[in-house]
Structure 1
Amino acid sequence: METLRERKKQRTREALLRAALELFTTHGYEHTTVDEIAEAVGVSQRTFFRYFAGKEDVAFTVQAMTEERFVAAVRARPAQEAPMEALRQAVLEGWDAIRGTVESAVPVELYLRMYRTIESTPALLAVHLRRSAATEETIARLLAEREGVDVDADPRPRLAVAVFGGVIRVTERQWCTGDDFSLEAIRQLTASYLDQVGSALTGNWRSERDR
């Protein structure tokens, strides 16, 4: 059973996380200090560092949770699904679970605002791309294990994940510059772009245009 002390620590961590994301999204990541985050919650800088290693750590806390949830969703897909279909269904069917994961930490609206802040902040975007590459490597190894191939000898797991990851990046960029700032919008955009992968890779674009 969770003790009163543990609940207090969890509330402090959640308050620091929310305060940090609010400050990052309203004042800018680079213009926000750890002292300001701690002050917003009424705790010391020392207390902040009990829960987070620094600004980067707190900035990517919720993203780390959603990444872990996606890896788990891929691992849970039926064995008979083709690799790309497993990735597709994991991301499209996992939105509700991802929403629940986000809401356990911060309001979804704040998470989405932070998503855009990451995309528009060079220092955060660089970290995001590095983290995405690490997650893609984890997924590639998971696909290789599930399909019974050697990830270092067979290029297909990494190729499949590279294509999938590219679609997700295009989706993120388009969503971040669009007018519909909602979770449903990015879900629909993701589905639409994934549906176009086949024709984009193998279709004759000019012939399709001239029909």
Structure 2
Amino acid sequence: MTQPAKPARTAASSQRLKMRRELAAAAMELFATKGYEETTVDEIAAAAGVARRTFFRHFRSKEEAIFPDHDDTLERARAVLDAAPAHENPLDTVCQGIKEVMRMYAASPAVSVERYRLTREVPALREREIASVARYERLFTRYLLGHFDEAAHHDGDDDPLLAEVAASAVVTAHNHVLRRWLRGGAVGDVEAQLDRAFAIVRQTFGTGFGASRTDGTAPAAPAARTSERGEVLVTVARTDTPLEEIMRSIELTLRRA
């Protein structure tokens, strides 16, 4: 009897997101033509063809209406983390998770460019954007902290610091690429640009995080490990380890040599 309830919830969620986007579109158009300060919630609701109370069922304020997709995108990012394969480097997983944010912006380039312009001009919107970014950072920090490789750092007190700094680095790299892309009119392959930025983050923070923990306490063995023996490098890897991860292990060891 509980099975049929799932599609209903999905349909309701889709309808809710559709209304949020319609309200956001009405708000952005009014902000652009009339000005943010001069636009009222009543005007936004009227432009979207709904009552004032409907607006407040979806948003707490008019500045919140400019970001209708963040709640849904945060859940998609969380789903990426939850579905990550056991052998995947957690930092790679986080990079994949935040790509959901980039895809949200890339899905509507013209809207995203206008939104970026508005957030630069209106302090209240910029503060709302900063608050949204902080939610992603907290999600990624918790995930990385749960996958910290204790064998890579002898001082356990470093765990929260490295997790928070690495999560912040991923978000900062994403935001840097996103802003550059939006300033350029949302032209070009933004995911390729993002992958180049993530390569820098991996080189800096790629060690210290192990694969998923198998018993809740000890980290699983890394998928690939390279050690230096005299003038020879020896790499040990599982057969299912991606070639990219093996090459990164070798590169990191060469850098330390």
2-structure distance, mates of 1:28, 1:119: 13
The aligned residue for residue 196 of structure 2 is: 192
RMSD: 3.6
In the alignment, residue 16 of structure 1 is paired with which amino acid? L
2:81–2:93 CA contact under 8 A, matched in 1: yes
2:196 is aligned with what amino acid? Answer: S
Corresponding residue for 2:167? 161
Assess if the C-alpha contact under 8 Å between 1:119 and 1:176 holds in 2: no
Matched, 1:19 2:26: yes
The offset of 1:50, in angstroms, is: 3.2
Aligned to 2:141: 140
Is the CA contact (8 Å cut-off) linking 1:74 and 1:86 kept in structure 2? yes
Preserved CA contact (<8 Å) 2:30 2:44: yes
Superposition deviation, residue 37 in structure 1: 0.6
Task: State whether structure 2 residue 89 is matched by structure 1 residue 82.
Answer: yes
- Residue 174 of structure 1, aligned match among 172, 180, 192: 180
Tell me the equivalent position of 1:51: 58
Give distance in 2, aligned partners of 1:53 and 1:89.
30
Which shifted more, 12-21 or 72-81? 12-21
Aligned residues of 1:83 and 1:160 also touching (Cα < 8 A): no
Instruction: Assess if the C-alpha contact under 8 Å between 2:24 and 2:65 holds in 1.
Output: yes
Going from structure 1 to structure 2, the CA distance change for 1:158 and 1:53 (only over 3 Å counts) comes to same
With structure 2 as the length reference, what TM-score do the two structures score?
0.58
Partner residue in 1 for 2:218: none
| Superposed CA offset, 1:120-142 (max 9, x none) | 43221222122212321221112
Structure 1 residue 158: deviation in Å? 1.0
Count of aligned pairs between the two proteins: 189
Q: Which residue of 1 aligns with 2:47?
A: 40
Aligned to 1:206: none
Q: Please list the CA deviations of residues 71-100 of structure 1 after superposition, one character each: whole Å capped at 9, or x if unmatched.
A: 3212322222222222223344x479x45x
The answer to whether the aligner puts 1:67 opposite 2:74 as a matched pair is: yes
- Judged with a 3 Å threshold, the aligned counterparts in structure 2 of structure 1 residues 13 and 199 are, in CA distance, closer, same or farther, namely closer
The structure-2 alpha-carbon separation of the partners of 1:131 and 1:57, relative to structure 1 and needing over 3 Å to count, comes to same
SS of residue matched to 2:174: helix
Choose between structure 1 and 2: higher strand proportion.
Answer: 2
More helix by share: 1
Could you tell me the percent identity over the aligned residues? 30
